[in-house]
Amino acid sequence: MSTYKDRYKSADDGMRFQDLVYQGNFKGMDPVPDGILGDKVLRQRAKSKVLEKVSKEDVLRDQFTVAELNDLNNYLAWNIWDVLVMRATEGVSGMIPRQEYEILAFMHEFYRWPEILEMTTNEVGAQGIIDIGASARREIGTKVNCVHDWCIGAVGFGMGRCGLLALEAIQPQDYVRESNIILKFMQRVLWGKRQDGYILNSQDRYRCKIHEKDILDKLVGQVEYFEPGSEKHDSLVRFNAAAELLSFLDHYDCRLGLGDTGPYELPDGKIMIIRDLFTNEEVYDWSDVCDHENVPHCYTLCLVIDPEKMNLSEIRVNDISTTFTRPKNYIEHIVGGAVFVREKWNTPMGEVYQVKISELDKRLEGIQQATFKLYTKFSRMSRRTLITNGMYVYYIDMILPHLRLAGTYEKACKDYEFWEIDQRVSNYYYDIVKRGFAQATVPQKIFSGEGYLPFPEDVSLNRSKYYWK
Amino acid sequence: MSYVAEGYNSFETKKTPSGIVKYLPDPKSVIALIQSGKLKEHILLVQGGTTTFLAPALSMGSIGVITMSGAPESHLGILSREFQMPCVMTAYLTDSDSRYVTGGNNDAHFAAIIKALEGKKVQLHCEDRETGRIAIVS
């Protein structure tokens, strides 16, 4: 029997998915656990109302107060820990130097994004940014999704500022104005997408039920049902895994290629996850191998899961768009599915088409070929090239979908040299490999929460940084 | 049954794949294994818990993986679940107190595991919710 719906009762504290606890800036206080209880504790400790449901008027306001900035800083720091601390144990890749490219990207984003996000806000207005978030409610195969939207604040502001503080390149009182620009952009997109007053899935007991009913009804109507272990089940599962793998690889082993929403409860009690797998991102030159194998921009999979057969006790669609369940293995309890294709990022929704499960094996071959060719290509690249490419994946892709929809991507490239690497960050390339900075110091600062120093309470909201020492 | 090593279980499964342990140190060794056509004869032993390093092996149907770092929340943990491929993560030798330390120097720890497992025929046991186990098959 499933008990997962108990997690949605207000008094329920959820399950613990890990034994570790979080301390962060809450020194002298009880440590914070993961999951629903962690969210409750963070909200109890907040000094402002920014972590509760907020109104459109709040979202349209130009700036956060210092107290709101610090509450967001603390919450995002815990949220990053909540979704990533166990992943942080995975060590070196052996293929792609991910820790190195990640830390460079974090810092580059914090330096470069503010003026590009401000330009974009000026072009389309605050309401326009909210509308970009809202567009995800009527689309599948869109990168305006949890992980991209979360990354704006959690990565560009949170980890970027944390990395620069750890490098002692900046002080806690620096870049207040720029931090506000980044976080406001994030809040507007996420608020527009959710439209329930919250911005993060963790605030809503790890639910991301964003799609409009008519869109959901249309997708559900195209689901093919089957018995677990049947040929159709195996085909769908095989395809899901292979496409997900390619989406990871095309995005340099990061989560930007994957986007889950849900869980959507169906009338018969089953639940559905909608999963976008971005298998071919055209802005990357290495995606040419995906073009050669006719792999589309995105495959969207509707996965219908039987919570009763699974004895589902908790399901989390977390803020980096990834689904985790207890018990862990939901795959063998998938009882229905549908696959859709969006050929290009801007293919109109009316031209998105379905591929029957019986026809997936033909497409699987192209995915496997593209995966092997991409792997071979990466294996021949120098370490420097891999780090540079990985840094671009983070720095470009995390805000690419929002700039595309705002119509400001070309302007960012032309007038703001979006694809250029800041000289400061280029120089950091040599610093981050010294004394374990990328592999030990920054992960420790990020995952202990020690590195997210608060802004001074009396700092000016207009404060930037005008001198270097 | 006695187990030579154990670690985090990526997901619960009744599958008990067995094969000769092959340590894969670099992308060239992964490509060579794929091209040898003997992928399914081996349980793969790797250092990290990331997906990209093992991408073609996963795609072509590897039967089981042992990692020396990482967790079910790591990318490889997620993908092993999607592929329904048993995976024991952050494995350690049961007769040793040595454990993986995140961000630390684990060279000696890794070397001891590789020495104990490479070339041996093993079977993975992943029925338990949290712990995956590795048995030597005589």
Cβ contact B12–A372 (<8 Å): no
Query: CA-CA distance, B12 to B124, in Å (whole number)?
Result: 12
Residues 6 or more apart in contact with residue A416 via CB below 8 angstroms: A115, A116, A119
Whether A88 shows a pLDDT value over 80: the answer reads no
Query: CA-CA distance, A274 to A263, in Å (whole number)?
Result: 8
pLDDT at A438: 79
Whether A439 shows a pLDDT value over 90: the answer reads no
**Torsion angle of the four alpha carbons A378, A380, A382, A383, in this order, in degrees rounded to the nearest 10:** 50
Do both A69 and A197 map to the same domain?
yes
Do both A372 and A442 map to the same domain?
no
For chain A, what is the domain count? 2
Side chain identity, residue A367 = I
Phi and psi, residue A271, nearest 5°: -120, 150
pLDDT at A435: 77
Give the start-to-end residue ranges of the domains of chain B.
Answer: 5-136
Query: What's the complex ipTM?
Result: 0.88
Q: Which residue, of A362, A379, A396, is where some domain finishes? A: A379
Query: CA-CA distance, A22 to A6, in Å (whole number)?
Result: 25
User: pLDDT band at residue B51, thresholds of 50, 70 and 90?
Assistant: confident
pLDDT at A29: 96
How far are the Cα atoms of A168, A300, A395 from residue A263, in angstroms, in the given order? 42, 15, 29
Element (H, E) at A264: strand A258-265
Do both A240 and A296 map to the same domain?
yes
Side chain identity, residue A325 = T
A242 in a domain, yes or no? yes
For residue range A131-147, list pLDDT tens digits in order: 999 999 999 999 999 99
For residue range A276-333, list pLDDT tens digits in order: 999 999 999 999 999 999 999 999 999 999 999 999 999 999 999 999 999 999 999 9
Whether A45 shows a pLDDT value over 80: the answer reads yes
User: What is the extent of the structural domain holding A393?
Assistant: 17-205+382-448
Whether A93 shows a pLDDT value over 80: the answer reads no
User: pLDDT band at residue B73, thresholds of 50, 70 and 90?
Assistant: confident
Among A residues 191-220, those touching chain B with beta carbons less than 8 Å apart: none
A162 in a domain, yes or no? yes
Query: CA-CA distance, A90 to A173, in Å (whole number)?
Result: 33
A21 in a domain, yes or no? yes
Q: What share of chain B is helix, strand, coil (3-state, %, to 5)?
A: 30, 25, 45
A467 in a domain, yes or no? no
Neighbours of A421 (CB within 10 A): 16
Do both A297 and A187 map to the same domain?
no
Whether A5 shows a pLDDT value over 90: the answer reads yes
Closest CA to B67 of A90, A99, A96: A90
Whether B103 shows a pLDDT value over 80: the answer reads no
Do both A292 and A270 map to the same domain?
yes
Matching residue, tokens 């810092």: A107
Query: CA-CA distance, A42 to A30, in Å (whole number)?
Result: 11
Please tell me the class of the B5-136 domain: alpha beta
Do both A388 and A331 map to the same domain?
no
Mean pLDDT, chain A, rounded, equals: 95
Among A residues 95-124, those touching chain B with beta carbons less than 8 Å apart: 95-96, 98
Whether A412 shows a pLDDT value over 80: the answer reads yes
Within 8 A of B102 by CB-CB distance, chain A residues are: 88-89, 91, 443
Do both A196 and A298 map to the same domain?
no
Whether A90 shows a pLDDT value over 90: the answer reads no
pLDDT at A52: 98
- pTM more than 0.90: yes
- The total number of residues shown for chain A amounts to 469
pLDDT at A433: 83
For residue range A414-425, list pLDDT tens digits in order: 999 999 999 999
A468 in a domain, yes or no? no
Give the tokens for residue A443. 């992960």
Query: CA-CA distance, A181 to A165, in Å (whole number)?
Result: 19
Do both A236 and A119 map to the same domain?
no
The angle that helices B75-83 and A231-250 make with each other, rounded to 10 degrees, is 160
For residue range A107-132, list pLDDT tens digits in order: 999 999 999 999 999 999 999 999 99
Do both A156 and A239 map to the same domain?
no
Cβ contact B79–A242 (<8 Å): no
- Region of residue A223 (phi > 0: left; psi between -120 and 50: alpha; otherwise: beta): beta
A6 in a domain, yes or no? no
B46 interface with A at CB cutoff 8 Å: yes
